[in-house]
């Protein structure tokens, strides 16, 4: 059962990671729980407290629904990375000229980060939509940047296309810190103008003082993903997967054409896949991919062989032990496997892979949707164009 904080108690409530904070009964912004918790703005993705005109920011809440296919905000709970897109989402407007000032804030804090002036950077509080009315989950306390990403990649202006018109928006990268609870007393200190008190979290103080990131990382309690975790959870991804399946089911080259698609999806997932070969036939009649994975820099890289198996299935039909064993049996010493499916891998097959420690990566239906979204393919028309370009039916 979720840890649920009632709306009436929000003003004095601490912020607990993954706790659910209830919205009010009203059908308007007065029911917003984030503004009650942080005493900040009550609308939009950026909820800022401070003076935007003077670039004095006390704190900021970042709100996301985590399901927008056009702007795929993402929390990597295993690494503590948080990817968040800015607020310039319509053509005809300058990158920084947004009503809420979110992109101006992003530019300000990342500029300060890059010159080492972290004391002027406000704390960021991450909230996500729960699916119930205005209720929200608290995802954690974040700071800009991440130890694995350099300053040229942590804030990037990307071009987008809408209704045939081009415009720019920011893609930013934050680190969610290892802070399980935020005291409401610290929120009060922040608003009083002094965030550097004994109420401030240790991980945040250490980052302010020396730039050390202590990310909130979490290992999966399950060694395998369930069926529900492997199939699409949003209508847009369901449409994407169904379109792919139907396209290759009616393709003149059938499963062979999907194998080409699966190999390309794997390369889109990880650019260290440097080449693959789809022409080598197997004795059992299959013709999946073999390839090489690059580790290291160009001048001292080594290359690891991998084999790929692809299954184009409707979402309701999973792959079992017979199909995953086919891939496992092909793997030689120091090779790994990639199993790509437009559906899911059964629990028994997934458990066998994990228990026996087989080096196999599963790319399921939901993973395919995520890979395509990250490469700007988020609608059926865009997907159809991509399919027709790369895997024509003639």
Per-residue pLDDT of the chain (394 residues; tens, 9 = 90+): 468 999 999 999 999 999 999 999 888 888 999 999 999 999 999 999 998 888 889 999 999 998 887 888 999 998 999 999 999 999 999 999 999 999 999 999 999 999 999 999 999 999 999 877 889 999 999 999 999 899 999 999 999 888 889 999 999 999 999 999 999 999 999 999 999 999 999 999 999 999 999 999 988 666 788 999 999 988 889 999 999 999 999 999 888 899 999 999 999 999 999 888 875 555 544 447 889 999 998 888 999 999 999 999 999 999 999 999 989 988 988 899 999 999 999 999 999 998 898 999 999 999 999 999 888 898 999 999 999 999 999 8
Two tokens, residue 8: 């009436």
- Please count the residues of the chain: 394
Two tokens, residue 146: 């991440």
The Cα-based distances of 273 to 256, 306, 363 in angstroms read 20, 9, 14
Place of tokens 């108690």: 9
Give residue 286's pLDDT: 46
Where in the chain are the domains? 4-210, 227-390
CA angle at 236 for the pair 232 and 239, rounded to the nearest 5°: 80
Give residue 279's pLDDT: 58
CA distance 13 to 37: 7
CA distance 290 to 314: 25
Q: Would you say 191 and 39 are in contact if contact means Cβ atoms under 8 Å apart? A: yes
pTM of the predicted protein model:
0.78
Tell me the CATH number of domain 4-210, given options 3.30.70.1880, 2.160.20.10, 2.30.280.20, 3.30.479.30.
2.30.280.20
Give residue 381's pLDDT: 93
Give residue 280's pLDDT: 55
Nearest Cα to 274, choosing from 288, 287, 257, 291? 291
Give residue 16's pLDDT: 97
Q: Beta partners for 161?
A: 166
Which CATH fold topology does 227-390 show? Trna Endonuclease; Chain: A, domain 1 (3.40.1350)
Q: Would you say 380 and 243 are in contact if contact means Cβ atoms under 8 Å apart? A: yes
B/e letters for 356-366, b = 16+ CB within 10 Å, e = fewer, are eeeebbbbbbb
End-to-end Cα separation, the chain, in angstroms: 54
Is beta strand 46-51 parallel, antiparallel or unpaired with respect to 56-64?
Answer: antiparallel
Grouping H, G, I as helix, E, B as strand and the rest as coil, residue 293 is strand
Grouping H, G, I as helix, E, B as strand and the rest as coil, residue 204 is helix
Q: Which helix (H) or strand (E) holds 320?
A: none
392: which DSSP letter? -
CA distance 317 to 337: 21
B/e letters for 294-333, b = 16+ CB within 10 Å, e = fewer, are beeeeeeeeeeebbbbbbbbebeebbebebbebbbebbee
Q: Would you say 14 and 185 are in contact if contact means Cβ atoms under 8 Å apart? A: no
CA distance 208 to 112: 11
Domains 4-210 and 227-390 share a fold: no
């Amino acid at each position: 059962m979720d840890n649920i904080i009632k709306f009436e108690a929000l003003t004095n409530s601490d912020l607990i990671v993954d706790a659910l904070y209830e919205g009010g009964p009203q059908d308007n912004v007065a029911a917003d729980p984030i503004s009650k918790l942080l005493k900040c703005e009550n609308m939009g993705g950026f909820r800022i407290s401070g003076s935007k005109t003077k670039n004095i920011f006390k704190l900021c809440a970042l709100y996301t629904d985590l399901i927008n296919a056009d702007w795929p905000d993402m929390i990597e709970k295993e690494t503590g990375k948080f990817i968040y897109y800015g607020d310039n989402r319509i053509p005809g407007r300058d990158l920084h000229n947004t009503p809420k000032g979110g992109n101006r804030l992003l530019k300000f804090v990342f500029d300060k980060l890059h010159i080492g002036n972290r004391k002027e950077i406000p704390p960021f509080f991450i909230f996500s939509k729960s699916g119930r009315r205005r209720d929200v989950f608290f995802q954690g306390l974040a700071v800009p940047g991440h130890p694995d990403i350099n300053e040229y990649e942590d804030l990037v202006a990307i071009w987008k296309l809408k209704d045939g018109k081009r415009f720019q928006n920011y893609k930013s990268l934050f680190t969610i810190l290892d802070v399980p609870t935020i005291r409401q007393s610290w929120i009060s200190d922040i608003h009083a103008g002094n965030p550097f008190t004994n109420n401030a979290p240790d991980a945040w103080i250490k980052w302010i003082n020396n730039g050390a990131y202590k990310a909130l990382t979490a290992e999966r309690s399950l060694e395998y993903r369930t069926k529900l975790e492997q199939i699409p959870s949003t209508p847009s991804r369901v449409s994407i997967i169904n379109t792919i399946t139907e396209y290759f089911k009616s393709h003149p080259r059938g499963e062979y054409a999907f194998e080409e698609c699966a190999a390309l999806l794997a390369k889109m997932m990880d650019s260290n896949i440097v080449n693959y070969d789809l022409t080598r036939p197997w004795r059992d009649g299959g013709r999946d991919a073999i390839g090489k994975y690059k580790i290291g820099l160009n001048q001292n890289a080594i290359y690891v062989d991998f084999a790929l198996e692809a299954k184009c299935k409707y979402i309701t039909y999973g792959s079992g032990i017979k199909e995953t064993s086919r891939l496992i049996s092909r793997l030689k010493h120091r090779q790994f496997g990639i199993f790509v499916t437009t559906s899911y891998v059964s629990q028994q097959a997934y458990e066998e892979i994990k228990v026996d420690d087989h080096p196999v990566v599963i790319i399921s239906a939901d993973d395919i949707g995520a890979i395509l979204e990250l490469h700007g393919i988020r609608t059926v028309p865009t997907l159809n164009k991509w399919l027709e370009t790369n895997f024509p039916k003639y």
